[in-house]
């Protein structure tokens, strides 16, 4: 089996030899690339899981030992023969197995790779096979010493350099002596082997570390997503479901669609003393998590304060004082409150900087004219006024947030009041639920594939004509 080292005499000196070493290096890298692609593919197999920082069962040790033993054999078989001298990365497999899973896996991989090398014979057969087994065992020892802490990339490279040097500079001379022939072989083979082995193991661990980080990021993202989902459930749970109020005097429907998981829009709807229905729609500046915290505060305050029976303006003033308290970040809320007398249709509004509602009446849709008032949370002593308008039986009042009119399409155009008015006109004979659904559909059509730009809230209420009862009403 002299073929492994048969051509020692060809080795020249100087530039020629450097060229040999270089081409040997290039070929080794090519073979290594095959190995790394294999490694990459294996680490992508889900059941392989996280190879780093993990304890393995004996069965897994055996399996890893076998796999990396085969890789070790691949390292031998793919060895590059230049001038009859073989440079190889046989030690790489056992070293990786050792670093990943300890001396059992490393030792098994080493034994497989080493036995295979021993059977091939040649003058370096004995030292090479011994070195391969030792590489697995030593790296396995390092794994034990690390006590489960993940192996860093430079540590893996340093261990690989150590066992390769041990192979070339200690074991081989110990077994074979340091004849001129051996020196020649070592001089040719060691530089590319050291480089390729270290680069190979560094790359392998780089892949593992990357994969690990990716999985951690995924896990983190999953955790945040599930927390946001819970926050969304809590937020949605704070809102009343007006369509559940079964009252023959009116039909009411509300829609709230946050642009993100959670949002800053809010609404409220309740009946006071069986005589009035109170509607409120609000919008916290901004969107997302910060807005949602303020939304929750405002929603709860509104719900609590509204029980006092005060008029809308007084309610706004009390809410405003609470919201101004400690508001360093200048989060503000626009809020529109309407108390509608179910008998007379007399409606009292209090407006804290919110867009005025639309009134849908047979034969015409109009934006109600309300004084703006200042948004809440800005000036503590702000005074609001009660503004009175009258609704007639059959009228529908449509409250909304600017997420409706400022819904944006891909060309950065806004949905706008004009489009909203057109949809409302088209749907003027519909029930509140159908109106809300129709507007939502129109917005979705307008926005197309663009991300929602703001939270969307609509609250529509239709006063039924006296004597008419339930959905079976005939007009």
Which listed range, 40-48, 74-82, 127-135, 281-289, lies at the site for another protein (CB under 8 A)?
A: 281-289
How do 358-361 and 250-257 pair as beta strands?
unpaired
Q: What is the DSSP string of 177-212?
A: ---HHHHHHHHHHHHHHHHHHHHHHHHHHHHHHHHH
The single residue among 63, 301, 374, 389 that binds another protein, judged by CB under 8 A, is: 374
181 binds another protein (CB under 8 A): no
Q: Which is nearer to another protein, 79 or 368 (CB)?
A: 368
Give the 3-state DSSP-derived string for 339-359, with helices as H, strands as E and coil as C: EEECCCCEEEEEEECCCCCEE
From 42, 329, 366, 450, residue interacting with another protein (rule: CB under 8 A): 329
Determine the Cα–Cα distance for residues 140 and 40; give it in Å rounded to an integer: 22
- Does 410 sit near another protein (CB under 8 A)? no
In this structure, the number of other CB atoms found within 10 A of the CB of residue 190 comes to: 18
Q: Determine, following the binding rule CB under 8 A, whether residue 366 of this chain makes contact with another protein.
A: no
- As measured in angstroms, the least distance from the Cβ of 453 to another protein is 8
Is position 406 an interface residue for another protein (rule: CB under 8 A)?
Answer: yes
Q: Which stretch binds another protein (CB under 8 A): 117-125, 238-246, 282-290, 342-350?
A: 282-290
User: Could you say which residues in the range 336-365 bind another protein, by CB under 8 A?
Assistant: 352-355
Q: Applying CB under 8 A, does 419 fall inside the site for another protein?
A: no
Establish how many alpha carbons lie within 13 A of residue 134's alpha carbon, considering only the half-sphere containing its beta carbon: 17
CA distance 92 to 157: 10
Residues 6+ apart with CB under 8 A from 317: 382, 383, 384
The token pair at 339 is: 């108390």
Instruction: Give backbone dihedrals phi and psi of 170, rounded to 5 degrees, phi first.
Output: -120, -60
Scan for tokens 């109020």, then name that residue.
245
Interaction of residue 129 with another protein, rule CB under 8 A: no
Question: With respect to another protein, which residue has the nearer C-beta, 315 or 463?
Answer: 315
**Residue of the chain from 27, 61, 261, 283 that contacts another protein (CB under 8 A):** 283
Could you tell me the CA-to-CA distances from 182 to 9, 187, 189, 230, 293 in Å, in that order? Answer: 12, 8, 10, 70, 75
According to CB under 8 A, which one of 157, 262, 375, 427 is a site residue for another protein? 375
Q: Is 457 in the site for another protein (CB under 8 A)?
A: no
Q: Among 41, 372, 390, 466, indicate the residue that binds another protein (CB under 8 A).
A: 372
Both tokens assigned to 419: 């489009």
Strands, E, within 73-134: which ranges? Answer: 80-82, 85-87
Count residues near another protein (CB under 8 A): 25
Whole-angstrom Cα distance, residue 166 to residue 171? 6
117 binds another protein (CB under 8 A): no
Residue 330 near another protein by CB under 8 A: yes
Among 261, 322, 395, 454, which residue sits at the site for another protein (rule: CB under 8 A)?
Answer: 454
Question: Where along the sequence are the contacts to another protein (CB under 8 A)?
Answer: 283, 285-287, 329-332, 334, 352-355, 372-375, 378-379, 402, 406, 412, 414, 453-454
């Amino acid at each position: 089996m002299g073929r492994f080292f048969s051509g020692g005499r060809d080795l020249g000196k100087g530039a020629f030899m450097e060229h040999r070493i270089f081409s040997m290096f290039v070929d080794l890298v090519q073979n290594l690339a095959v190995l790394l692609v294999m490694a990459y593919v294996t680490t992508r197999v889900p059941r392989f899981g996280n190879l780093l920082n993990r304890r393995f069962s004996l069965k897994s040790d055996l399996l890893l030992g076998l796999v990396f033993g085969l890789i070790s054999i691949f390292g031998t078989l793919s060895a590059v023969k230049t001038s009859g001298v073989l440079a190889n990365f046989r030690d790489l497999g056992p070293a990786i197995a050792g670093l990943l899973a300890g001396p059992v896996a490393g030792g098994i991989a080493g034994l497989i790779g080493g036995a295979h090398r021993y059977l091939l014979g040649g003058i370096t057969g004995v030292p090479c096979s011994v070195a391969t087994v030792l590489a697995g065992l030593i790296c396995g020892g390092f794994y034990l010493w690390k006590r489960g802490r993940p192996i860093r990339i430079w540590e893996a490279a340093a261990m690989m350099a150590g066992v390769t040097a041990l192979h070339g500079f200690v074991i081989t001379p110990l077994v074979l002596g340091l004849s001129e022939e051996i020196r020649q072989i070592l001089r040719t083979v060691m530089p590319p082997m050291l480089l390729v082995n270290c680069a190979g193991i560094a790359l392998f661990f780089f892949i593992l570390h990357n994969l690990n980080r990716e999985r951690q990021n995924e896990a983190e993202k999953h955790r945040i997503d599930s927390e946001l989902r819970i926050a969304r459930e809590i937020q949605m749970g704070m809102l009343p479901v007006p369509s559940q109020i079964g009252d023959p005097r009116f039909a009411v429907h509300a829609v709230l669609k946050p642009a993100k998981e959670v949002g800053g829009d809010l609404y409220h709807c309740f009946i006071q003393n069986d005589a009035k229905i109170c509607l409120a729609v609000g919008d916290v500046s901004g969107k997302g998590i910060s807005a949602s915290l303020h939304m929750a505060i405002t929603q709860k305050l509104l719900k609590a304060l509204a029980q006092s029976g005060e008029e809308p303006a007084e309610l706004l003033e009390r809410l405003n004082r609470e919201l101004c308290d400690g508001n360093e970040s200048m989060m503000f809320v626009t809020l529109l409150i309407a108390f509608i007398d179910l008998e007379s249709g007399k409606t009292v509004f209090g407006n804290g900087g919110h867009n005025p509602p639309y009134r849908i009446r047979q034969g015409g849709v109009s934006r109600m004219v309300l004084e703006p008032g200042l948004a809440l949370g800005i000036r503590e002593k702000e005074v609001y006024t009660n503004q009175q308008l009258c609704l007639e039986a059959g009228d529908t009042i449509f409250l909304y947030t600017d997420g409706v009119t400022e819904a944006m399409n891909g060309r950065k155009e806004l949905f706008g009041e004009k489009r909203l008015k057109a949809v409302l006109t088209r749907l003027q004979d519909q029930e509140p639920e159908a109106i809300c659904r129709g507007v939502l559909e129109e917005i979705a059509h307008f926005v197309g594939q663009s991300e929602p730009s703001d939270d969307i809230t609509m609250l529509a209420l239709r006063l039924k004509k006296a004597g008419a009862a339930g959905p079976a009403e005939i007009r």
